[in-house]
Amino acid sequence: MPKLLKDIKNLVRGLGITGKHLGRHAITIQYPEEKWTMPERSRGIVVLLSDKETGELNCTSCMLCMRACPTGAIRIDAPRGEDKKRRLISFVVDNGICCFCGLCEEACNFCAIKMATKYEFSTVNKDDLVWDMRKLQEMGRDVDYVDTRKKKPARADVAGPAGPASSSEKKPPADGQPGPDGAGQDPKTEGEA
Amino acid sequence: MSWPVAVGELHGVFRWLYGLLADTGLPQPWLDILTYTVLAAMVFGVLALIALYLVWWERKISAHIQQRFGPMRHGWHGWYQTVMDAVKLLLKEDVKIATRDRVIFFWAPVMCFVAAFLAYVAIPFGDGLIVADLNIGILYIMAVTTFTVISLLMAGWGSNNKYALLGGMRSAAQIVSYEVPMVASVLVVIIFVGSLSMVDIVRSQSGLVFNWFVFRLPFGPIAFATYIVAATAEVNRVPFDIPEAEQELVAGYNVEYSGMKFAMFFLAEFVNMFTVSAIGVTLFLGGWSGPFLPSWLWFLVKVLAVILLLMLFRWTYPRLRVDQLMEFAWKFLVPVTFANLILAALVKHLGWYW
Amino acid sequence: MDGLRTEEFVVNMGPHHPATHGVCRLMLTMDGERVMRIEPVIGYLHRSLEKICENRTYAQCIPILDRFEYVTSMSCNQAFALAAEKLAGIEVPERAEYLRVIMLELNRIASHLIFYGVTAMDIGALTPFLYGLREREGIIDLFEMTCGQRLTYNYIRIGGVSKDIPAQFVPQCRTVLSTIREKLHDYEGLLNENPIWLVRTKGVGYLAPEVAIAYGVSGPVLRASGVNYDIRRNDPYSIYDRFDFQVAVRPNGDCYDRYLVRLDEIKESIKIIEQALDGLPDGPISAKVSPNFKPPPGEVYSRVENSRGELGVYIQSDGGKKPLRVKTRGGSFNQLQALPVFGTGGLIADLVAIFATLDVIMPEVDR
C-alpha cells in the first residue's frame, strides 16, 4: 500500500513537470522569417576576400589553402609565368566536398580566404555547389574582415617564412604586395619550425 | 412512437427537427427515418470536425510541452493543418498488397470508423442534445465500443503480414482485457444512479460541483482514476500503446494501410478518445451541468480537460511492455475495481452515502 | 503439449529502424516472443577513415577523425593530439590543457544529454528527448562561439588548441552549467522514480562484471556493473589528476544503473568544469608546432575516457609528414560485441531498452 501511494505520487510528479511547460513560451524561432544571428567565428561557406579599397582579390596563389585542405575541395590553377610569378587563373571550391574544418582559413596569410557565417547555399543540382572564383569573390564582397596583412613595397625575390597553421592569431604575412593579377610572392613552405 | 426500443421523452433537437420536417407532409415511418438520418448526418459532421480539431489540439499541446510551436503555417497557429493533412492523405496512393484478403482488407477501416461513430447515438452533448436517450444508454455504448476489436483483427488478418497480425492480436487482447476494469468502474456509478440512461445519470449530478460523482461517491475518485487508466488502454495510447509503437518490431495492425484507409484508422482513434472522455465526463464529472454558460459549452470544456489529461499521459510516461500491460490489467486493475464495486454496493445497501 | 512442434524464426531488426542508433543490423533468432540469439551485422557506415588518414598530414587527420565519433568529437581530437604529442615529445601549455579539459567535459555532458533523450524516446517517453536537446543547445552554443562549429569541432590540435575562448565564454558557461544542474532535477523527477520506467529498466539486461571485462567493455557500461575503472583516474592523461571528482559507479549491471551512471557523470563533469574555470591560467594556447609536423619514427597508443568508453588512437609513424598507420578503437565496438552474450532471454522491448542504454554509436563501430 505505501508503495502504491509512492508510485502514484511519482506519476503525478511527472505530470507536473511536463504540465508546467505548458505555461512557458516556446524557445524555437520560425525560420525563415526569423533567423539566428550566427557567432562571428561560425564556419560557414568558403568565400574569397577582396581588398577593401581596390576590390581586387587578396589571393596571391600561394597554394597554402589547397595544401591544407583535408578533403581536396579547393582546386587552384595558378601556373608560373615567364617571370616566375604565379598568375591566378582559376580558384574552384567544391562545397559538396568541403567539410567546413576551417584549415584553409587558418593557413592563409593574406586574408584571402575566409569561412563566412553564411550557411544557405542548398541547391537541387549538385553541380551548382562547385563555385568558381567569380562566385566566391561575389559571396565574399559583403563579408567583413580585419585586414592583418602588412603592406610593404613589393619586392620580387623575398620569400618569408610560412606562418604556423596551429597558432591562433594570423602572423604577419610574407613580404610582398599582392599584385592585381595575383602574381605575388611564393613564400617558402618547406621550412621547419 | 412505436419503436421496438423504448426511447425516453423526445428531446430538444429531435423534437425541433421532427417539427421542421413534419411540414413536408411525409407519412409517419418515413418522417422518423428522415429525421434520424438528418440527425445522424449532423452528428457525423460535428464529430468529423471534432476529430480534426483534436488532432490539431494534440499537436499543439505536445509541442508546447516540448517548448516548441507545433503547426504554425496553415492558418493562425496552424488551425487548418489537419485539413491539409487529410487532403494529402486523400491524394496518396492507396497501396494494396497483392496477397491481401480483399473483402476483409477493405472493410476493416470502414468497420473501425462505424464502430467509433455508433456510440454517439446515446452520448449527450448538452441539455436535450442527444440523438436518442436510450434507457439502456451506457450498456449500449459499452457494447458498441467493443466493435473496434473486430476491426483490428480484420485489419491484422487482411494485411497478410505476420507482424500486422501479431500487432492486431495484441491490440485486441489489450482492449478486451481493459474492458473489464472499465465496466466495473462504470458500474459503481450505475449502482448509485439506479438507471442506465445517460440523461438520468447527468441529472442525478446536477446542482453544485460537489454533486459530481467523482467527489460525491465514497469511492468516486478511485472509480474515476481506474476509469481513466482503463480508458487510456482502450484507445491504445501511451503508456499502453505497444501495438502501435514504432520502436517495436511489430509495427501494429495498420502498417499495411496507406492513404485514406490509414486516415480512417487514425481519425477513428481520435474519435474513440473523444468517446471515452465523453463517457467519463458524463458519468463522473457532471456531464453538461454548470452555471452561466450554455450546456454544450460546459460539456466541451470538460471533455477537453479530460483529453488534455490523456495527452499529458502520452507525452510524459514511457510505455509498458506487453506482458507488463496485461499483468497490470489482470493482477492490479481488476481486483481493485472489483473491490471498489463490492464496497460501493455495500455502501449503497447500507445507505451511508450522501 | 509434448507433441507441439515449435520452431525458432529469424527476424531482422534492420539497418533502418527507429530504435537502433544509426545503421546497425541485428539478426534476432526468436522463439515466440523471446529473443534467443542476437547476431549484429555491422559495416553499413564504414567510411575507411583509417585508410584516409594514411594519406593526410597530421594536421589534416584531425578533421577526418572528428567524424570517427561525431557525438563527442572533442575526445577524438584529444586522443589523436595526445598520440602525436607523445610521439614528438611536445609539451602542451597550461592554458591549453585547461581549455581542453573544459571542452572535453562539456562534450561529455552534451553526449550524455543526447543519451538521456534517446533512451527515454526508445522506451516510450517522448518528451525528455526535447528537454535533453534543449540543454545541449546551450553547450553547443558555447562551442560555436569558440571554434565555429556545432558538431565536428576541429578544435583540439597537436600542441594545444586552435583558438582562444572569447570574453563571454566563462560567464555564459557558468550560466549554462547552473541551468543544467537545475534541470537535472526535472529529468530525475520525470523518469528516475517513475514506476513505469522502473519496471521497464530495473533488472533488465544484467551484465556481469566478468563478462564486461572479458569483452573489453569500458566506460559507463562497465562502471554500471560495479567495476571502478575510469581512465581519467586509473591512467590519467592531460591534467585530470588535478581535479577533484568522483567516479560514478553503480553495483547492479542492469539498464537502470547504466542510465543512472550517466546522470551521475553529468554532475561530476559539471564539478570538473567549474574547477577548471576557476583555475584557468593565462598564457599561450598552443605550443609551436611547425606546419610540416614530422614526428620521429615509432608507434604510440593513447587513450581517453570518452562518454562511451575508451577511445584509443594508435599511430605508427615512419618519420614522414603523413602517418604510416592510424588505428582507432572505440568503446561502442566492444559493447556491441558483448550484446549477444547478455542481451538475450527477454522480449524485443527489453532488447530495445538494453540497446538504448548501451549508447552505441555506429560510426565508432564501423569507422
Q: Is A88 exposed, middle or buried (0-12, 13-18, 19+ CB in 10 A)?
A: buried
Which has more confidence, A121 or A187? A121
Nearest CA in chain C to B62: C127
Contact predicate C109/C272, CB 8 Å: no
CA distance C299 to chain B (A): 44
Q: Where does the pLDDT of residue A57 fall: very low under 50, low under 70, confident under 90, or very high at 90 and above?
A: confident
B26-30, C34-38, C304-308: least confidently modelled range: B26-30
Calpha distance C223→C253 (Å, rounded)? 8
Which residue is listed with cell 594570423?
A170
- The Cβ-side half-sphere exposure at B173, using a 13 Å CA radius, reads 16
Q: Are B339 and A42 in contact (CB under 8 A)?
A: no
CA-CA distance, B247 to C16, in Å (whole number)?
11
Of C315, C351, C311, the C-alpha closest to C334 is C311
- A-B interface: how many C-beta pairs under 8 angstroms? 35
Closest residue in chain A to residue C322, using alpha carbons only: A70
pLDDT (tens digit per residue) in A71-110:
999 999 888 888 878 888 889 999 989 999 999 998 988 8
- Would you state the cell numbers that stand for residue C120, as one nine-digit string? 527515454
The answer to whether C164 contacts chain A (CB < 8 Å) is: yes
If we measure between CA atoms, which residue out of C302, C306, C314 comes closest to residue C360?
A: C306
Q: Kindly report the CA angle at A6 between B218 and C135, in degrees rounded to 5? A: 125
Q: Is A41 on the interface with C (CB under 8 A)?
A: yes
Choose the mutation target among B66, B246, B249 for the interface with C, i.e. most C CBs under 10 Å: B249
- Averaged pLDDT for residues C163-185: 93
The one-letter amino acid at C323: P
What are C44-77's pLDDT values in tens digits? 999 999 999 999 999 999 999 989 988 999 999 9
Q: Give the separation between CA B347 and CA A88, rounded to whole angstroms.
A: 97
In chain A, residues with a C-beta closer than 8 Å to the C-beta of B63 are: 26
Return the C-alpha cell found at B40.
445522424
Beta-carbon contacts of B80 under 8 Å, excluding residues fewer than 6 positions away, are B74
- Give the closest residue to C342 by CA, choosing from C354, C333, C352: C354
Question: In this complex, which chains have at least 3 CB pairs below 8 Å with chain B?
Answer: A, C
Cross-chain Cβ contact B247/C124 below 8 Å:
yes
Contact assignment for C59 to A166 by CB distance below 8 Å = yes
How many CB atoms neighbour CB C340 within 10 A?
Answer: 14
C-alpha cell at C109: 555532458
**Which of C190, C192, C196 would best serve as a mutation to test chain A binding (most A beta carbons within 10 A)?**
C190
Q: Which three cell numbers stand for residue A122?
A: 542548398
**Cβ–Cβ of A41/C145 closer than 8 Å?**
yes
Please return the burial class of A97, using the count of CB atoms within 10 Å of its CB with bins 0-12, 13-18 and 19+. Answer: middle
Residues of C in contact with A165 (CB under 8 A): 59, 291
Across the interface, which of B66, B241, B250 has its CB nearest the CB of C130? B66
To the nearest whole number, what is the mean pLDDT of chain A?
Answer: 77
- C-alpha triplet C255, C257, C258: angle, nearest 5°: 65
C271 is written with which cell numbers?
A: 564539478
Give phi and psi for B175, each to the nearest 5.
-65, -45
- Three-state DSSP at B337 gives helix
Measured distance CA(B291)–CA(B295) in Å, rounded: 8
Task: Label residue C284 by pLDDT band (50, 70, 90).
Answer: very high
Say which residue the cell 547492479 belongs to. Answer: C252
- State the pLDDT at residue B267: 85
Q: Which residues contact B198 (CB under 8 A, 6 or more apart)?
A: B122, B123, B124, B130, B133, B134, B137, B138, B141, B282, B287
Angle at B178 between CA B175 and CA B179, to 5 degrees: 85
Backbone dihedral angles phi then psi of residue C160, each to the nearest 5 degrees:
160, -140
For residue A183, what pLDDT is reported?
37
Which residue among A13, A69, A162 places its CB closest to the CB of C291? A162
- How many angstroms separate the CA of residue B152 from the nearest CA in chain C? 20
Q: Is C280 exposed, middle or buried (0-12, 13-18, 19+ CB in 10 A)?
A: middle
The answer to whether the beta carbons of residues C279 and C243 sit under 8 Å apart is no
The span from the CA of B161 to the CA of B155, in Å, is: 10
Which chain A residues are within 8 Å of B65, Cβ to Cβ?
A: 18-19, 21-22
Helix (H, G, I), strand (E, B) or coil at B157: helix
With cell 466541451, the residue in question is B300
**R_g (Cα) of chain B, nearest Å:** 21
State which residue of chain A sits closest to B73, comparing Cα positions. A30
* Residue that is written with C-alpha cell 462505424 in the block: B114
| C9-20 as b/e: b if 16+ CB within 10 A | eebebebebebb
Whether A14 and C190 lie within 8 Å, measured CB to CB: yes
pLDDT at B354: 60
User: Tell me, what amino acid is at B151?
Assistant: S
The minimum CA-CA distance between A28 and chain C, rounded to whole Å, is 10
For A138-168, write each residue's pLDDT tens digit: 888 888 888 887 765 443 333 334 434 333 3
- Which residues are within 8 A (CB) of B299 and not within 5 positions of it... i.e. 6 or more apart? B124, B125, B126, B278, B281, B287, B288
Nearest CA to A108 out of A68, A76, A78 is that of A68
pLDDT at residue number A190: 33
| Residues facing C13 on adjacent strands | C26
The ipTM assigned to this model is 0.86
Q: How far is C340 from chain A (nearest CA, A)?
A: 34
C-alpha span between A8 and A6 (Å, rounded): 5
Q: Can you give the pLDDT at residue B89?
A: 85
Q: Do B312 and A27 touch (CB under 8 A)?
A: no
With CA atoms as reference, report the closest residue to B310 among B266, B274, B338, B340.
Answer: B274
Alpha helix segments (H runs only) across chain B: 12-22, 28-65, 81-91, 102-118, 137-144, 147-158, 162-193, 198-203, 213-216, 220-234, 259-284, 295-316, 322-327, 334-350
Q: Give the model's pLDDT for residue C164.
A: 92
Half-sphere exposure of residue B108: CA atoms within 13 angstroms, side-chain side: 29
Q: Cβ contacts (< 8 Å) between C18 and chain B: which residues?
A: 246-247
Q: Do B315 and C124 touch (CB under 8 A)?
A: no
pLDDT in tens, C15-29: 877 666 778 888 989
Asked if B290 and B245 count as a contact pair (C-beta separation under 8 A), the reply is no
Task: Please tell me the distance from the alpha carbon of residue C186 to that of residue C174, in angstroms, as a whole number.
Answer: 19
Picking from C99, C150, C152, C290 by the largest number of A CB atoms within 10 A of its own CB, the best residue to mutate is: C290
d(CA B228, CA A59): 71
Kindly give the parts of chain B with pLDDT less than 70: 1-13, 217, 243-251, 353-354
The partner residue sitting opposite A21, judged by closest CB among B65, B69, B72, is B65
Express each pLDDT in B65-84 by its tens digit.
999 998 988 888 888 898 89
CA distances for B156 relative to B106, B235, C23, angstroms? 12, 17, 29
How many other C-beta atoms can be found within 10 angstroms of the C-beta atom of residue A146? 6
